[in-house]
Amino acid sequence: MNPLSFLRFSFIFFWGLSIIISHPDPKNCPWEKMVTSAVNDSIDMILIPSGEFTSGKNGKLLSIDYDYEIMKYPVTNAQYIKFLSSMLEIEYIEIRGNSVEACYEGDEFIGPDYYDLYSLGVSTGNFGRISWNGKEFTITKGYENHPVVKVSWFGAYAFASANGLRLPTESEWEKAARGSSGTEYPWGNNISGSYANFSNSGDIWDNGTTPIGYYDGSVKNGNHTSNSSSPYGVYDMAGNVWEWTSDWTTDKPRGIILRGGAWGFDPGFSRTWFRYTSTPNYNNSQYGFRCVKRIPQKNNR
C-alpha cells in the first residue's frame, strides 16, 4: 500500500469518473505533516511585517506580533490542478462522479470523518474550470491564470496544508489588505471598474472572474486599469473572489469567515473591513482563497 494512502480527506471538485481507494480511519489525516504537493515553486509570497493595523468599520487599531507572508494573488486554476494531480498520484483523493473527495482529521467544530457533504473542491458548472477526462485533470483554455472557484473551505485547507502553508486568520487577511491606512479599499476610499471586478463594474470580465493581478495600472486590450494593490503590494483583495479564512464566527449558527467581495456582488461588499460567512462544505462560483505562512521567530528582524 502507498504509505500515504491511509489519509482520507474530503473534498469535492469537478469531473466525471469514479476512482475508489481504501478508506482508513479519518483521524489519520495530518495534512500539515505531509508536504507533498510540488506547487510552492509557483507561489509568489509577500512579507507582512509585525505591527499595528486598522481593523473593522470603526478603524480600531489592532496588532499582530509576528511577521508572516501572504500570497500575492489568490490561488489559480493552474496551481490548484497541480495540487490535484499530485494528490491523485499518491492516492490522497478519490474521484466519485462529479466530486473529488478525501478525509478531514477534525477540529474544534467539525469531527474527524469521511465527508461527502463537507466537500472540498469544485463542482461542475459554468464557472468550474477544472475537469476530469478519465485520465487527468484539465483546465478550460484561457482560464489557467484565473483564481480557482467553487472550492470549499475543505479544499482550500487541503491545498494550504499540503504545501506547508495555511489559510489566513481574519486579522492577517485584513492587515495585508489594509495595513494601518484605515481606507475603505486596499488602494483608497473610492472604487470603480478600473480598480476591481464587482457586479456591473463595466469591464470585459464583468460576468466572471478576472485573471489574477489584472488591475495593476496597465492598459489591457484597450481597458485602462488602476493599480489596486494593498499598501504591502498584495493584489486582488477587493472583488473578483471571496477568500476563505481560518476563522469561525462566534455567533450561532457558526460559520467560517470570508473576506474581499466578489465579481457578482456590489462594490460595498469589497470593503476591507466587510465580513461574509459560509459553511465549510459550501462552494460556489465566487469562492476562492489564498494562503499564508508565519515567519519563524528566529528569522525575525
Please give the span between the terminal C-alpha atoms of the chain, in angstroms, as a whole number. Answer: 45
Question: Does residue 13 lie in a domain region?
Answer: no
- Quick check: helix, strand or coil at residue 81? helix
Tell me which amino acid residue 125 is: G
Question: Does residue 10 lie in a domain region?
Answer: no
Q: What share of the chain is helix, strand, coil (3-state, %, to 5)?
A: 15, 20, 65
Q: Can you give the pLDDT at residue 138?
A: 87
Q: How many domains does the chain have?
A: 1
Question: Does residue 9 lie in a domain region?
Answer: no
Question: Does residue 21 lie in a domain region?
Answer: no
Q: For residues 73 and 146, give the distance between their C-alpha atoms in angstroms, rounded to a whole number.
A: 10
Question: Does residue 203 lie in a domain region?
Answer: yes
Tell me which amino acid residue 27 is: K
DSSP class of residue 203?
Answer: S
Question: Does residue 118 lie in a domain region?
Answer: yes
Strand 130-132, strand 137-139: pairing: antiparallel
Domain carrying residue 136: 31-299
C-alpha cell at 69: 507572508
C-alpha cell at 267: 462594490
- The residue count of the chain comes to 301
Question: Does residue 247 lie in a domain region?
Answer: yes
Contact present, 249 and 197 (Cβ < 8 Å): no
Q: For residues 62 and 55, give the distance between their C-alpha atoms in angstroms, rounded to a whole number.
A: 6
Tell me which amino acid residue 75 is: V
Q: Can you give the pLDDT at residue 4?
A: 32
- Quick check: helix, strand or coil at residue 177? helix
Contact present, 212 and 205 (Cβ < 8 Å): no
**Does a cis peptide bond (omega within 30 degrees of 0) precede residue 253?**
yes
Q: Can you give the pLDDT at residue 60?
A: 87
C-alpha cell at 205: 470580465
Q: For residues 166 and 294, give the distance between their C-alpha atoms in angstroms, rounded to a whole number.
A: 9
* Residue listed under C-alpha cell 467553487: 150
The CATH number covering residue 165 comes to 3.90.1580.10
Q: For residues 242 and 284, give the distance between their C-alpha atoms in angstroms, rounded to a whole number.
A: 10
**Average pLDDT, 10 consecutive residues per value, the chain (301 residues):** 34 38 50 56 91 89 94 96 86 77 77 47 60 85 92 89 93 95 94 94 85 95 92 97 95 89 97 94 90 82 48
C-alpha cell at 238: 477587493
Tell me which amino acid residue 178 is: R
Question: Does residue 11 lie in a domain region?
Answer: no
